[in-house]
Amino acid sequence: MNGPIYITGAGIVSAIGVGKESTLDSLVAGKSGIRRMKYLSSCHQDIPVGEVQLSNAEMASMLGIDDEPAFTRTALLGRLALREALDEAQLSGEALREVPFISATTVGGMDRRELFHDQEKDCDLAHAIIATHNCGTSTELIASQFGDFALLSTISTACSSATNAIIAGADMLRCGLAETVVVGGAESLSKFHLNGFNTLMILDRRPCRPFDADRAGLNLGEGAAYLVMETATSVSRRGVRPLCSLDGYGNACDAFHQTASSPNGEGAFLAMTEALQMAGLEPADIQYVNAHGTGTPNNDLSESVALQRVFGGEIPPVSSTKSFTGHTTSASGSVEAVICILAMNRQFLPPNLNWETPMEGGIIPVTGSHSPVELRHVMSNAFGFGGNDSSIILSRYEG
C-alpha cells in the first residue's frame, strides 16, 4: 500500500472531558483538569492529578454494564473512548471481524489488584481480580463489549505506548495486513503508579509548568483515546469521510538511561526526523508541535534541544497539553493525537498552561490560543522511559 492513511474516527476521555466535544470546549476555554484527588485513595493528598471526573460505577452506567470487580478503571475508560471512535467511523458488529485492535497500557488493571493486596494468599475472589491486572487482559476487556475483532494486540513501551500502537497499526495498513485498524491506549491512575513516580521525585505539588524555568515535575493523569485508521480503498468502499491523514511517523531508541532523556535529545531528534522524511515534508511545513512536554527538568530541556536540532531557528508553535490533562503515560500519545485533530479541524493552537518564565536553553511555548490559525500539518511527540521515542505527523483532510 502506497496511498494515504486516513483517520475516520476518534474517541477521547481525560481529565478535561468525556468525548471530543467537551474536550474541545476545555481546550478553547483554557480549562485544566489538574486538581485534588477525588477517586484515587492515597496518603499523598498534596499531589495534584488529572483524574477523569467519573466514578467506576458512573462509567459502567454510561456503558450500560454492571459495575463488576473485573471491570478495571482502565477498561472502563478505554470502552468509553473506543465507543466514540467506532461510532464516528460507523464500525460495528460483523465489520469488526476484519479489523485488528491494538491497544496500549502499562498499568493495566493495577487499580483493582491493589484493593486485594493483603488478601492475595487466601481469597479466591482476589485471585480472579488479580487476573485482570495483565495488560493484555485490559485490551480484551476493552474490546469485548463491541464484538470480535480480527486480532487483539497490546503494546507497552511506557509513555510512547499509544503512539507506538498508532505506528504498529499504520504498518499493518502499509503492509496490506488490514484495510482498517483501531489503535490507541488507555491508562488509569493507581497507587502503584503514583508512588512509583513519586519515588523518582518527578511529581510536582503544583499544577505542572512545561518548559518553564520554574518547572518542578509532572502531574500524573489518566484517560483513553482511540483512532480508527483506514486505507483509501476502505474509505471509498465504506463511504466515510476522513478527519485527517497520518502522513509520517518515526520511532527511535537512544537507550541513554532507564528513566532520563539524553542531553542532546538524540532519540527524539531521530524520531521527528524520520517522521518528516516519511511524510515528504520539510521542517518549515509543520505549523504546530504537540510536545511530550512533561514538565520535568530533564525532559523539557532534552526535548527543547531536539526541537532546536530539527527546526533550527524557525521552531513552529509548540505546546504541551499535559498542562490540561496531566501525563496520561501510556495513553498520552493517542490522547494528544486526538487533541491535535481537534486543533487542526478547529484551526487553533492549544495553549501551554501555567508557563511564565523562559528556561535556559529551552523553547518558548504557545501560551494563548491565537485563534484562528492555519494548521495543515502538525507533529505530536511521545517519549518513553529507556529512550523509546516516537513522533507522528497528522495532516488536515482537504477532500
Name the burial class of residue 213, with classes exposed (0-12), middle (13-18) and buried (19+) by CB atoms within 10 angstroms of its CB: middle
Cell numbers 521542517 label which residue?
A: 283
Distance in angstroms (rounded) separating the CA atoms of residues 13 and 244: 20
Which cell numbers in the block locate residue 394? 497528522
Give yes or no: 292 in active site: yes
Which entry of 193, 208, 244, 292 is annotated as an active-site residue?
292
Give yes or no: 43 in active site: no
Which entry of 159, 208, 244, 340 is annotated as an active-site residue?
159
Distance in angstroms (rounded) separating the CA atoms of residues 291 and 366: 11
- H helical segments located in 146-221: 161-174, 191-199
Give yes or no: 327 in active site: yes
Give percent helix, percent strand, percent coil of the chain, each to the nearest 5.
40, 20, 40
Which cell numbers in the block locate residue 145? 463489549
Distance in angstroms (rounded) separating the CA atoms of residues 322 and 220: 9
CB neighbours of 117 closer than 8 A, spacing ≥ 6?
none
Which entry of 193, 327, 340, 377 is annotated as an active-site residue?
327
Distance in angstroms (rounded) separating the CA atoms of residues 316 and 9: 27
- H helical segments located in 218-362: 232-238, 266-279, 297-311, 322-325, 332-346
For the annotated catalytic residues, the residue numbers are 159, 292, 327
